[in-house]
A and B are shown apart, each in its own frame.
Chain A
């Protein structure tokens, strides 16, 4: 097992959370794509019920709306990546959800777990190390500029989603990789975890 970045392994049992499970191979990716956003909105909506905020107060209501929007954005990006890079041959399920942490500040922890091939893992790990050793604003600009003339580079899009979470939502990111052997097949389960203050 390998942990990179800010990753919480054990959540306090008294805190609320919500988790959804999908079997990605059941419907073709194109047909269930919209489901990513709908699921993201669903957990974001549900997350706001965890918040100790009063929606009859205008200021707090605005904060609820902003939290919901931030959780929706992050959750959709994580789920899009999980669906896009899921290693279908492994026939594993995608797990996805949100935890609520609240002490002095209120924190949404959004996560997604999916399988990836060894090759994908190597690429992702390389990207993560680059992310931790660079200025994320700079890296985002470079990513966009580099791809400005090339509109068919699917590989870059995963990184852009993660970079916008850091730059625009001040997110903290972490990953857990677990090696799995299933018969002859070897692959990894990766959990991506994003913490945002709401």
Chain B
């Protein structure tokens, strides 16, 4: 898949094909599942190609509302069916919400690698 970028007023979500990584930056608090669907579709499109490794980098995402957490959770659940993909989620110690909420993703997908540093 080619490089792809979704940009809003306070956020950027960008797929880096070299690293098979989706980078999230800024603050995300869209209104609900419908508003999040372009981002979810981007994640699904990466997973569709069944890469061995896929990374979601949240280290520069300073805010995420529950609709966003829910969208990511549902994407993570969807990966149970794609056993070939090793998903890694990168988080930051410096961003308080990540220390509180990222661990939940592992409950949905025990094989998920969570790297908070």
Contacts and interface: CB of A to CB of B under 8 A. Distances in A.
Contact of B63 (A29, A33, A72, A151): A72
A74 to B, nearest CB: 10
Secondary structure class of chain B's binding surface, majority of residues = helix
B107 A151 contact: no
Contact of A151 (B37, B66, B95): B37
Interface residues of B, number: 31
A34 B31 CA distance: 9
Given A147-B74, A161-B65, A169 B100 contact: yes
A152 B33 contact: yes
Contacts of B78: 148
Nearest to B107: A141
A37 interface: yes
B10 to A, nearest CB: 7
A157 B70 contact: yes
Nearest to A77: B66
A144 B33 contact: no
B73 interface: yes
Interface of A: 29-30, 33-34, 36-37, 65-66, 68-70, 72-73, 76-77, 80, 84, 140-141, 144-145, 147-148, 151-154, 157, 160-161, 164, 167-169
